[in-house]
Amino acid sequence: MIEKEKIIEALKNVYDPEIPVNIVDLGLIYNIDIDQEKGLVTITMTLTAQGCPLGNYILHDVELVTKDVDGVKDVKINLTYDPPWSPEMMSEEAKKNLGYL
C-alpha cells in the first residue's frame, strides 16, 4: 500500500538548488494521485518560474525519491504553470526562513 504521507516526506528531500527550501514547503506540489493497483503515482507540480534552468534536475529528483517509496512502481509528473507559483504558496515555515514574515 502506497502512503501519500510517505511520498510527501520523500518529496521534502528535493530542493530547488537556488532556494534553500524543499519543494513541498515551497508549494510546488499541487496534487498527488495514487493508483494502488498499478503502483503508479501521478504528481502535479510546478516550478518557481517557467524556463527554470534547473527544472529538469528538480523533476528528475522528484521521480527518483518517489520511486524509492515502498510500493511505487512508476511515477508520472504533470508539470503545470496554472496556477503560476507565487511566494504566497509557501508554508509558513518557508516564508519565515526566507524572510517573507
CATH number at residue 35: 3.30.300.130
Q: Residue 17 has what pLDDT?
A: 86
Nearest-angstrom CA–CA distance, 53 and 36: 33
pLDDT in tens, 75-94: 999 999 999 999 999 999 99
In a domain, 45, yes or no: yes
The answer to whether residue 8 sits within a structural domain is yes
Residue 66 pLDDT: 98
* 92 grid coordinates: 509558513
Q: What confidence score (pLDDT) does residue 35 get?
A: 98
What domain range is 45 assigned to?
4-86
Residue 92 in any domain: the answer is: no
* 82 found inside a domain: yes
Q: Residue 38 in 3-state DSSP? A: coil
* Residue 59 maps to a domain: yes
Q: Which segments in the chain show pLDDT lower than 70?
A: none
pLDDT for the residue numbered 99: 87
pLDDT of residue 1: 94
